[in-house]
Amino acid sequence: MDGVPEPHTGWTFITNHARVLATIADNHSARIRDIAAHCRLTERAVQKIIADLEQDGYLSHTKEGRTNTYRIDPGKVLRHPAEAGLTVASLLSLLVQAEADRVTAPGGRSHAEA
């Protein structure tokens, strides 16, 4: 099927909800299609995740023409009791730093390869 990412088998450290939220944090007017491609998810999965995040108050959106602009509530506390007191902003700062560390270093090698 064209445009649908290959499924991942096994577990991962970062949830799909965190991936979608981080992608939106990077581009508040990203299209669902672009979020899905970046996160390697289907568009339907991204729509469901966005609905989950909006339902629980982590995310909201406004419609501007045909474009959605998303707003993240950075002060919202993470859901799991083990992360009690940690906010969305703290999660996103970790993910943003990790993404910055993946930027290609001089010489064409990524930091992970260096």
pLDDT, tens digit (0-9, with 9 covering 90-100), for 61-110: 999 999 999 999 999 999 989 988 899 999 999 887 666 666 544 544 44
DSSP string, 36-65: HHHHT--HHHHHHHHHHHHHTTSEEEEEET
Average pLDDT estimate for 22-48: 95
**Token pair recorded at residue 7:** 């499924």
pLDDT on residue 113: 45
What residues have CB less than 8 Å from 111, skipping those under 6 apart?
101, 102, 103, 105
Q: Of 74 and 6, which is predicted with more confidence?
A: 74
Question: pTM higher than 0.85 for the full model?
Answer: no
What residues have CB less than 8 Å from 16, skipping those under 6 apart?
39, 41, 45, 49
The Cα 87–Cα 57 span in angstroms is 13
Question: 68 near 61, Cβ under 8 Å?
Answer: yes
Q: What percent of the chain has pLDDT over 90?
A: 62
